[in-house]
A and B are shown apart, each in its own frame.
Chain A
Amino acid sequence: MSEQTIGQPPAGEKPVAPPEAKNSNNELFRKITQGPGLVSVLGVFVALVIGGLLVAVTDKKVIETSSYVFARPSDFFSQLWRAGTESYVALFNGSIYNSAQGFSPFLETLTVSTPLICAGLGVALAFRAGMFNIGAQGQIIIGATMAGYVGFAWHLPLVLHLLLVVLFGLLGGALWGGLVGLLKARTGAHEVILTIMFNYVALYLLDFLMNTTAFRRPGETNPISPILDANATFPAMTGSRLHLGFVMAILLTVLVAWMLKRSTLGFEFRAVGHNPEAARTAGVNVARTTILAMAFAGALAGAAGVAQVAGTEKVLTVGVAGSLGFDAITVALLGRSTPWGTFFAGLLFGAFRAGAVNMQISTGTPIDIVLVVQSLIVLFIAAPPLVKSIFGMNPKKRVRKTETIKAGAK
């Protein structure tokens, strides 16, 4: 990721044809998924500023005052500032600290970020092995389905029950991810297509299961499962929703960090991710590594499913995965596919989500604005040169810089 490669001219104007198309794809993939962390930080910053502006210009009072901005400009600008900052203050109050509740909103942030971290790790691990795992959603669903079923259908003693719930959740995810790896390794099918389709299969499978008597709550005609046994759920901290699943997320982060850095398997993942041909030449069994990488990625996403059913929701519904699987991709991208990067990116997104609730209740700002900010973050991360040019970090492109800012501001 030297400055030269980043400072290259915009796409469509490539001066020298790359020696091999596949290699340049690989290069781009790595640049987007594993580029420098500074881009992430700046991307978040720019996204927040744009988000604030959006809130401000759509605010009713701002629009009102803008009609007489020349007669009394102070109104307009004070309203603009109020609307822009008020939302973020509410976001902070709802995610970190407020005077009425102390730091209990922060516990909520940790709760919300737990599944994001787990699923994000799954996506990040696949990134490091050179694969775009769009399938976290399906892996979460299958993980949650298996964990949930064990949780409400079996009745076992304390500790053992929860352990089995976690185990089956991981297994479910690993199975769903591993299948993709197997198909890719054996048939060469592309993992993006496979995972997208597997998402649908998982969703409709759960949809079907929720309408069977085995999964539906007795006496209930709506597709909702029985509540999980108390023994099968993560113990929660009194007075908050924070549960032991967060510790699981920390442990998984440590485990993935150790695996990628210190273990032979992790080395093989990274080797295949860098260059499958070279890895093969060096004696790595690429097929086996592909299958294992997807299985591990799936298991991590499955852990997110466990955090959902055994941590916060305590029931299985069709919407158990929400949009977690897709948010996880953003989290992994933002974390530059490193375990701890993903961990903190997960915390940040958890804070967004937790704070957004307070934001929409107390200021009436639509919760969608948080989704806009998240999407902008993806945009900026996927286009590192854009962020760099906004901050004038492209050394050779002084002239173009000003143009980009203008265009970006429109």
Chain B
Amino acid sequence: MRFLSRKTGVAAAMLGISALALSACGAAPEESGKAAGNSDYIGCIVSDSGGFDDQSFNQSSHRGLMAAADDIGFKPREAESKSNSDFATNLTGMMNAGCNLTVTVGFLLGDATAQAAASNPEKHFAIVDFQYDKPIENVKPIIYDTAQAAYLAGYAAAAASETGTVATFGGIKIPTVTIFMDGFADGVAKFNEDKGENVKLLGWDKKKQDGTFTGDFEKQDKGKQVTKNFIDNGADVVMPVAGPVGKGAGAAVVDANKGGKDVKLVWVDSDGYETAPDYKAVMLTSVVKTMDKAVEEVIVSDADGKFDATPYVGTLENEGVALAPFHDFDSKVSDETKSELDALKASIISGDLKVESKASPK
């Protein structure tokens, strides 16, 4: 505080005030009595500790709720959980706020949601990325057979690799992460089998169900370090399954390419070309889970009085999961690979080809 002399302080204050005054000269709007919402329906969402800006499932589920709110015209209620002990409190809060349907995000909210559902049988719930052993009447699970799309990504990555080595790593070893890695591994294996090649996969061993994890979904430097190690070991396509940690991987890829390498990135959850534009120059493709669409659909149909507890399973068939376009790499991926991917997609949809993961929806 003492670094500022009195004069500079006064000058800064004057500047600030004049800036404020300039921006404050607009005309006052006409008074209007229009209310924001025109529906009695209330849709709500409770996040896990990732928060609604996690660039992952909390964020996309939240986007789905907002879209539904726009469709129907209700005021959404949202509660971010800062720790696991907030789950029950937040759900109680939602019940008191009169929510018709509450979306809860992630397996950690499983118990709390089941409890709230049991004590509020007339309310509806939807839980993202989790499925109960015994279905609950008023809880709709929204789950994804991500392995299907990751399979295509694995195949595409193996086809795009020039060094014959690709890599993947996860944030935390949980099913919603390993399902990506299982599918990716199988896709690589399929490529090797069909082409008689020997593309190696670093970072995940499907048989042992073990591999490389950064330990959380936060520390980007750890993702950068892990990716650098992969690149040093010859990998030229990397798929980080770690939410924001993927940005660390992107930074490592950009660094390596500055040093003359040609490494590519496979993004997950959303189309990274749009959501992580800093790395779009190295973005081969993305494994997309369209959670916002599923959440929006569930809420809209609940508002129409059409709720059911049958799990929504996102697949290639219903476009709940998908392989994103190649964007800038479109010209570099051969037509042969593209038609093979289309054929694989078709046979997964028809059921001829089964992509299996321990973490697949039951």
- A interface residues, Cβ below 8 angstroms from B: 10, 66-72, 75, 94, 100-101, 108, 112, 115, 204, 207, 211, 219, 221-224, 227, 241, 308, 312-315, 317-324, 353-354, 357-358, 360-362, 364, 366-367, 371, 403-404, 406-408, 410
Contacts and interface: CB of A to CB of B under 8 A. Distances in A.
B27 A322 contact: no
B85 A322 contact: yes
B145 to A, nearest CB: 15
A397 to B, nearest CB: 12
B215 A221 contact: no
A233 to B, nearest CB: 13
B113 to A, nearest CB: 13
Given A112-B89, A361-B97, A322 B84 contact: yes
B176 to A, nearest CB: 8
Interface string B27-67: 11100000000000000100001000000000000000000
Contacts of A211: 173
Contacts of A224: 107-108, 110-111
Contact of B25 (A70, A308, A364): A70
A219 B133 contact: yes
A396 to B, nearest CB: 17
A241 B119 CA distance: 14
A354 B27 contact: no
Nearest to A240: B92
B27 A407 contact: no
Interface of B: 1-2, 4, 6, 9, 12, 20-21, 23-29, 44, 49, 77-80, 82-86, 88-90, 92-94, 96-97, 107-108, 110-111, 130, 133, 172-175, 215, 358-359
B185 to A, nearest CB: 17
B88 A241 contact: yes
A404 B6 CA distance: 12
A319 B133 CA distance: 23
A404 B79 CA distance: 37
Contacts, number: 118
Given A71-B26, A207-B215, A358 B93 contact: yes
B93 A361 contact: yes
Contact of B111 (A315, A354, A357): A315
A219 B97 CA distance: 34
B2 A10 contact: yes
Contact of A222 (B4, B93, B174): B174
B93 A94 contact: yes
B70 to A, nearest CB: 16
A241 to B, nearest CB: 7
Contacts of A354: 89
A163 B273 CA distance: 56
A361 B94 contact: yes
16 contacts: A68-B24, A68-B29, A70-B21, A71-B25, A207-B172, A222-B108, A222-B174, A223-B174, A319-B108, A321-B83, A324-B83, A353-B86, A357-B90, A360-B80, A361-B44, A362-B97
A357 B93 contact: yes
Contact of A319 (B79, B83, B111, B215): B83
Contacts of A357: 79, 86, 89-90, 93
Nearest to B175: A221
B322 to A, nearest CB: 24
Nearest to A361: B93
Contacts of B94: 361
A264 to B, nearest CB: 37
A302 B173 CA distance: 27
B27 A221 contact: no
Given A360-B79, A361-B94, A406-B9, A68 B88 contact: no
Given A360-B78, A366-B80, A68 B27 contact: yes
A20 to B, nearest CB: 28
A83 to B, nearest CB: 16
Task: List 8 A-B pairs, minimum CB-CB distance, nearest first.
Answer: A322-B83, A407-B1, A72-B28, A71-B28, A67-B26, A69-B24, A68-B28, A222-B107
Contact of B77 (A70, A207, A315, A361): A361
Nearest to A65: B28
Nearest to A76: B24
Given A108-B89, A317-B108, A357-B79, A67 B9 contact: no
B82 A361 contact: no
Contacts of B1: 403-404, 407-408
Contacts of A72: 28
B111 A312 contact: no
Contact of A100 (B9, B90, B96): B96
Nearest to B90: A357
Given A68-B27, A322-B82, A360-B78, A312 B4 contact: no
A118 to B, nearest CB: 13
B307 to A, nearest CB: 22
A364 B27 CA distance: 27
Contacts of B175: 221-222
Given A227-B111, A357-B79, A371-B82, 16 more contacts: A10-B2, A66-B20, A108-B89, A112-B85, A115-B85, A207-B172, A221-B359, A222-B175, A223-B172, A318-B172, A319-B83, A321-B83, A354-B89, A360-B80, A361-B97, A406-B9
A101 B93 CA distance: 11
Q: Which of B93, B97, B172 has the most CB of A within 10 A?
A: B93
A277 to B, nearest CB: 36
Contacts of B83: 319, 321-324
Q: Which of B21, B24, B27, B97 has the most CB of A within 10 A?
A: B24
Contacts of B92: 108
Contacts of B79: 357, 360-361, 367
A362 B111 CA distance: 24
Nearest to A403: B1
A410 B96 CA distance: 39
Contact of A313 (B80, B84, B172): B84
Contacts of B21: 70
A189 B110 CA distance: 43
A244 B84 CA distance: 20
Contacts of A313: 84-85
Contacts of A222: 107-108, 110, 130, 174-175
Contacts of A323: 82-83
Nearest to A200: B215
A75 B28 contact: yes
A227 B112 CA distance: 12
Contacts of B85: 112, 115, 308, 312-313, 322
Q: Which of B27, B86, B133 has the most CB of A within 10 A?
A: B86
A117 B63 CA distance: 37
A324 B174 CA distance: 24
A317 B111 CA distance: 12
